[in-house]
Amino acid sequence: MTTFLFFMTLSYLILKLTKNKKTKSLLKKWDEIVQEGIADIQKANQQAYKDIEIREGTLERRMQEIQEKSRDIANKSSEIEDTIIISEEKQQAKPSATIRINLESIREKKQDALNKQTQEIEDAVILNEIKANRKPPDKEKLRIKLPESKKPTVKETIAELKIKLQPEPKKSTAQEKVHQIITEQRQNSQRIDFVDQLKKELGLIETNSKTEQPKEWTLELLLSLEWKRFEEVCREYIKIHGCDARLTKNGADGGIDIELYDNDKLYGLVQCKAWITKVGVKEIRELYGIMASRKITDGTFFTTSSYTQEAFIFAQENQIDLYDGNSLINGIKNLSKNQQEKLLIFATSGDYTTPTCARCNLKMIKRISSQGKHFWGCINFPRCKSTLQIRKAV
């Protein structure tokens, strides 16, 4: 705008110097244009001043709103501190270091209130003594004071809070004992006499109960072994004969329980069935099918019971060794006495009759179905729904 006015004034001076008739008319037009320009500039300035005033007004309003909000926040924070102090006094808990100052102020208020009460008591006692023509007592003896307390440090406050916030030790219930035994069994890879330990904890049996351990190998003892212990006994029996026998993982063996190795090279497969009923040809064919798929020629089948005639014929045709309960007992009795005793101790250590869950590798417990039937169920039910039928007593 300044450049515009400069050129306008310059042209005006030039035209004025010429002093012609035409120049007078032009000068009028130039004057009108200049006046219009000046008016526009004034209007623009006025509008700019109005905009500035409006912005300043909005800023002031916003500042006022911010100040009001800050006041509200301060009031709320003070209310929160008061509620915290009151709740801590009700709970008789040690106050935190951040609100110790507020507690001191409350203590001072209480002291002031007590001082007022004691002053009233002092006046009443003195009046009574004067009326009775006696010497009034010392005011200090009548004054009530709050017990003095040292200001605790932050560390002492935190330590006392931790002690007070610690939950009281609960009395161990039967459910907690069961849970403790299960966790110990999961953490410990060694075998645990789970059922006996559980019964002792729950007081179902006496700790000093006299249970006679088997003294020799019999078919009755072999039939009483649960499936997992029977597999382990078969593995130990094979190891005694100098073979490298390894148990397979639960639930992922494809029907094979023991694998035989020679210098870490697989050469034989073993399957074990702790059954009371006879093993049929179906189970022998399944073993032969696994042998053929894995290109293994050495196969062995162990059972606590016996075999059908068809199973015996099929095993002979395909060179599969069969061990029934009687033949396994005879084989164990042909071992040395020391080997028999070691194998017997291994077989009967802990709980050797309660079956193991194939999925969780934990001892199962007896359950009752909705129809009233008894069965073995996993202790992790309902997460694990593995079940086994209860075998009849031999």
Q: Where are the domains of the chain?
A: 2-58, 219-353
Residues 265, 261: Cα–Cα separation, whole Å: 5
Q: Which residues of the chain have pLDDT under 50?
A: 93, 95, 142, 144-146, 171, 189-193, 204-210, 252-253
Residues 252, 267: Cα–Cα separation, whole Å: 19
Exposed (0-12), middle (13-18) or buried (19+): which is 138, by Cβ within 10 Å?
A: exposed
262 has which bridge partners? 265
Q: What is the model's pLDDT at position 345?
A: 94
Model-level pTM? 0.49
Q: What is the model's pLDDT at position 236?
A: 95
The CATH architecture of the domain made up of 219-353 is 3-Layer(aba) Sandwich (3.40)
All residues at 6 or more sequence positions from 346 whose CB lies less than 8 Å from its CB, including other chains: 232, 233, 236
Residues 216, 221: Cα–Cα separation, whole Å: 9
Residues 94, 112: Cα–Cα separation, whole Å: 23
Could you tell me the two tokens for 91?
């709970």
- Residue 346 CA, chain-centre distance (Å), reads 38
271 has which bridge partners? 301
Q: What is the model's pLDDT at position 246?
A: 93
Q: What is the model's pLDDT at position 329?
A: 95
Q: What is the model's pLDDT at position 217?
A: 94
Strands 320-323 and 298-303: parallel
Instruction: Name residue 33's amino acid.
Output: I
Cis peptide before 355 (omega within 30 of 0): no
Could you tell me the two tokens for 109?
């208020």
